[in-house]
């Protein structure tokens, strides 16, 4: 049976460390290795920072970020919701990694970084919210009993 932990926080840079700690702790409770938990934490940190800077900040908005971590049989899933204007990262052009650093476009690497860290990444805009679903596969996930789900706000 899937286990779920949920965190809702204000979309401000000061709260990103709390989001990171929550995802890391959830990943470890799910049975991921330290390296896998690090990857999940980094991916969540990148996405939350992008929401705050480019979603809310760029549009002069304030809003919340909701993070749901699920332990599924053989997988750990992180779903991050925000209410900033729709932004589909799957439409971003692939960066030219072969170009010299001085010739590369600034920014825009976060989405590709997230895709490298996670096994699958999906984006949807539904119910007025951006929804990013990131999954890390591990056959050991969901095999052991873990602490009860945590609900925070």
91 falls within a domain: yes
153 falls within a domain: no
- pLDDT tens-digit profile of 23-63? 999 999 999 999 999 999 999 999 999 999 999 999 999 99
CATH code of the domain containing 36: 3.30.565.10
106 falls within a domain: yes
Domain count, the chain: 1
35 falls within a domain: yes
150 falls within a domain: no
152 falls within a domain: no
User: Which residues does the chain have with pLDDT short of 50?
Assistant: 145-153
Strand order in the sheet with 151-152: 120-126, 129-137, 75-82, 64-72, 3-10, 151-152
CB burial readout 122-151, b (16+ within 10 A) else e = ebeeeeebbbbbbbbebeebbeeebeeeee
Range of the domain at 81: 3-145
Kindly give, in sequence order, each residue whose CB lies less than 8 Å from that of residue 12, ignoring residues fewer than 6 positions away: 52, 62
pTM: 0.86
13 falls within a domain: yes
Beta bridge partners of 77: 70, 135
75 falls within a domain: yes
């Amino acid at each position: 049976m899937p286990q779920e932990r949920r965190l809702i926080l204000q979309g401000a840079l000061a709260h990103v460390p709390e989001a990171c700690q929550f995802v890391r702790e959830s990943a470890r409770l799910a049975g991921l290795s330290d390296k896998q938990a690090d990857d999940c934490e980094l991916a969540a940190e990148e996405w939350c920072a992008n929401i705050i800077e480019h979603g809310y900040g760029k549009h002069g908005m304030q809003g919340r970020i909701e993070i749901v971590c699920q332990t599924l049989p053989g997988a750990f899933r992180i779903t991050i919701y925000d209410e900033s204007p729709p932004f589909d990262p799957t439409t971003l052009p692939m960066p030219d990694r072969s170009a010299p650093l001085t010739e590369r476009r600034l920014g825009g690497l976060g989405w590709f970084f997230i895709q490298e860290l996670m096994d699958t990444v999906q984006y949807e805009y539904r119910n007025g919210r951006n929804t990013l679903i990131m999954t890390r596969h591990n056959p050991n996930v969901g095999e052991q009993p873990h602490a009860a789900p945590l609900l925070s706000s």
